[in-house]
Amino acid sequence: MPTNPIRLLLSARDPAAAMGIAAVARAAMADSRFQPDLVAAPPGLGWLRSQELPVRDASGDPMTAARAVLESGLPDLALVGLSGPEPGLDEALCALLAGCVPCYALQDYWGDVNPGYGHHADTYLVPDATAAALTRQKTAADIQIVGWPRYAGFRADGAWPGDRPDGPLLVWFGQPLWSFAGYAVTLSLLADALHLLPDQPRLFYRPHPKENDADIARAVDILAGAPAFNGLLPAMSAATALVNADLILSCLSSVALDLAMLNARAAAPLGVSASLLLTPDIRSWAGPDRTHPPLLKTGLTLAALSPDALVPTLREGLLADTRRHFWHHARTTLSGQDGAPACVLDILATRGER
pLDDT one-digit tens code per residue, 239-291: 999 999 999 999 988 899 999 999 988 999 999 999 999 999 998 888 765 55
- Would residue 159 count as lying in a domain? no
The confidence score (pLDDT) of residue 1 equals 46
Q: How many domains does the chain have?
A: 2
Residue 271 and residue 328 in one domain: yes
pTM over 0.85: no
The confidence score (pLDDT) of residue 157 equals 67
Tell me the residue type at 68. Answer: A
Q: Determine the Cα–Cα distance for residues 326 and 240; give it in Å rounded to an integer.
A: 18
Q: What is the DSSP letter of 309?
A: G
Structural domain that includes position 71: 6-152+338-352
The confidence score (pLDDT) of residue 214 equals 98
CB distance 133 to 153 below 8 Å: no
Residue 148 and residue 215 in one domain: no
Pairing label, strands 34-40, 169-173: unpaired
The confidence score (pLDDT) of residue 294 equals 73
- Would residue 323 count as lying in a domain? yes
Residue 102 and residue 136 in one domain: yes
Residue 184 and residue 317 in one domain: yes
Tell me the residue type at 125. Answer: L
Domain containing residue 53: CATH number = 3.40.50.2000
Q: Residue 5's CB: how many other CB atoms inside 10 A? A: 17
Residue 91 and residue 192 in one domain: no
Residue 308 and residue 344 in one domain: no
Residue 194 and residue 131 in one domain: no
- Would residue 267 count as lying in a domain? yes
Residue 26 and residue 133 in one domain: yes
Q: Torsion angle of alpha carbons 331, 199, 250, 187, nearest 10°?
A: 170
Residue 129 and residue 225 in one domain: no
Low-confidence stretches of the chain (pLDDT < 50) are 1-2
Residue 256 and residue 270 in one domain: yes
Residue 57 and residue 142 in one domain: yes
What angle (nearest 5°) sits at the alpha carbon of residue 253, between those of residues 262 and 107? 80
Nearest to 230 by CA among 162, 289, 290, 294: 162
CB distance 4 to 12 below 8 Å: no
Q: Determine the Cα–Cα distance for residues 16 and 110; give it in Å rounded to an integer.
A: 13
Residue 141 and residue 174 in one domain: no
